[in-house]
Structure 1
Amino acid sequence: MDLVDHYAGIRETRRIPFAREAIALSQIRAHLGAAVTTPGARPPQLLDAGCGDGTFLSFVDAAFPTLALDGVDFSQDRLEGRQPSRAALRQADLNRGLPYEDAAFDVVYSGEVLEHLLDPDTFLRHVRRVMRPGGLFVLSTPNLFAWYNRALMVCGVQPLFVEMSNESGSVGVGPLKRFKLQERPVGHVRIFHPEALRDLLALHGFRVLGMKGSSFERFPGLLRRLDALVAKVPTLASDLVVSAAPVA
């Protein structure tokens, strides 16, 4: 089956990170510590696997100007809208691995990517391969067991973020169809719950250091505030932000 570029034509102009990105930045900062400011030290290398147009890389660039930045994405269209200009970007199908040498990176970040992959196992094996000893892997992905998904499934409605069609994002959503922001799907192949994510990471040689919850940025008004409050309990959150280390 040919892969579909669900994000072709999309350009982001955000200057403020989403909540999940802010969490990731804080985890990266805590991990790198003085390494990003020590004079004469080798600049730490960060890879954004599934970087899109480089929006997250631009936030990293602003926070850590001495980091060496790389990004890789399936969408050539998104890469052509690249930012920041100093990042080295490549096009590749992440289902087939990462086009980098072994032990190339101190930090690998992958935001909202795992749910799009037909072969997450190959991807995670390659993430482990390209990481240096003592490195940090940070990923975010939607939570199948989010508080509202638990209620929706009991009511016989398809959970949010789970897509049943490659042509329509409204299959199975029932009365929620009126609230859909767009009709086209975004390409979600599988959605994880917290323990499944832990198991998958362990299978591919990672030890989970921490798991935090994050809210969904596209909810309106009161629902967004409620979601942010519930996100303090990761197992109920809209999004999971996981930090992990390669097992020696």
Structure 2
Amino acid sequence: MSAVSPLVRIAYPHLARREMLAFLPKTCPRLLDVGCNTGAFGEAVKQARPGTEVWGIEPDGGAAERARKHLDHVQQGFFDGSLSLPDGHFDAISFNDVLEHMPDPWAALHHARSLLTPEGVVVVSLPNLLHLDTIWPLLHDHDFRYESSGVRDRTHLRFFTRVSALRMFEECGYEVLSVTGINEQWWNTSLKRRLTYRFFGRWLTETKFVQYAFVARPARRAVEQEPATSSGMRLAS
């Protein structure tokens, strides 16, 4: 059996991620979906909230072309200053399992700040490194096996726990408004594991969730300290 290079791009399905709709602001006329893939999430947003203007950023040409059928504006490329995006335009910027694919997710979060309206937020889903199906092989088998999807997706460049993700937001000058464990998976495991969760669930809570959903906004102090001409790439003091 031949090995699969981690550098080979995975063709992800047209997945709407409807569980992330609940984390968008109640008032969100303009959304930017970073790493929009084929536009499934933006399509779901427009179905749930008719009239929402949805922009998408997608590096893969084929996926970007499909996304154009569903979204109002789609740009092919990486999320950085080379793209033509309007400053202060978006009420929300979504990163649905995207930041972990980036060499520098900190730079992406800094860049997002300049694109948000004064009350705008980032809505982020991040895979949870402490999920049971990842830490159990580490502890039991001393193994970390990359897969074609999930927490151990072979194209992931960064890995986060809830705590390390919160630190990243703080380092980038954000105030985290909410943190929610999503896509809970643990109950369909062995009886031994279910009993373990029953008696030790208080200490194992963070191992239940495949991802965490974060809603964050630029911290007021950080915004006030940004020079008016800043590109949003400077660390807040």
TM-score class, shorter-chain normalisation, is: 0.7 to 0.9
The one-letter amino acid paired with 2:139 is V
Partner of 2:210: 238
Partner of 1:222: 188
State how far apart, in whole Å, the 2-side matches of 1:131 and 1:154 are.
42
- Aligned-partner SS, 1:210: strand
The superposition leaves residues 153-193 of structure 1 with CA deviations (integer Å, 9 ceiling, x where unpaired) of 22243346xx4xxxxx4xxxxxxxxxx789xx641111101
Question: Would you say the 8 A contact 1:98–1:126 is kept in 2?
Answer: no
Question: Would you say the 8 A contact 1:144–1:159 is kept in 2?
Answer: no
Question: Would you say the 8 A contact 2:36–2:67 is kept in 1?
Answer: no
State how far apart, in whole Å, the 1-side matches of 2:120 and 2:164 are.
22
State how far apart, in whole Å, the 2-side matches of 1:122 and 1:142 are.
19
**1:53, distance to aligned residue in structure 2 (A):** 0.7
- Aligned-partner SS, 1:52: coil
Partner of 1:196: 164
Question: Would you say the 8 A contact 2:128–2:209 is kept in 1?
Answer: yes
The 3 A distance-change label for structure 1 pair 199 and 86 is: closer
Of 114, 125, 145 in structure 2, the residue corresponding to residue 140 of structure 1 is 125
The 3 A distance-change label for structure 1 pair 67 and 191 is: same
- Aligned-partner SS, 1:93: coil
Of 171, 174, 184 in structure 2, the residue corresponding to residue 206 of structure 1 is 174
Question: Would you say the 8 A contact 1:211–1:241 is kept in 2?
Answer: yes
**1:60, distance to aligned residue in structure 2 (A):** 0.3
With the length of structure 1 as denominator, give the TM-score of the two structures.
0.70
- Aligned-partner SS, 1:215: strand
Over aligned residue pairs, what C-alpha RMSD do you find? Answer: 3.2
- Aligned-partner SS, 2:167: helix
- Aligned-partner SS, 1:238: strand
The superposition leaves residues 6-64 of structure 1 with CA deviations (integer Å, 9 ceiling, x where unpaired) of 135x552x5xx44xx41x21121xx22xx46xxxxxxx210001100101011101001
State how far apart, in whole Å, the 1-side matches of 2:76 and 2:84 are.
9
Count of matched residue positions in the alignment of Structure 1 and Structure 2 = 203
The 3 A distance-change label for structure 1 pair 102 and 181 is: closer
State how far apart, in whole Å, the 2-side matches of 1:59 and 1:83 are.
14
Of 38, 45, 63 in structure 2, the residue corresponding to residue 60 of structure 1 is 45
State how far apart, in whole Å, the 2-side matches of 1:242 and 1:98 are.
25
State how far apart, in whole Å, the 1-side matches of 2:162 and 2:82 are.
24
Give yes or no for the alignment of 1:154 onto 2:122.
no
With the length of structure 2 as denominator, give the TM-score of the two structures.
0.73
Partner of 2:235: none
State how far apart, in whole Å, the 2-side matches of 1:149 and 1:191 are.
11
Question: Would you say the 8 A contact 1:96–1:123 is kept in 2?
Answer: no
- Aligned-partner SS, 1:57: helix
The one-letter amino acid paired with 2:169 is L
State how far apart, in whole Å, the 2-side matches of 1:140 and 1:110 are.
6
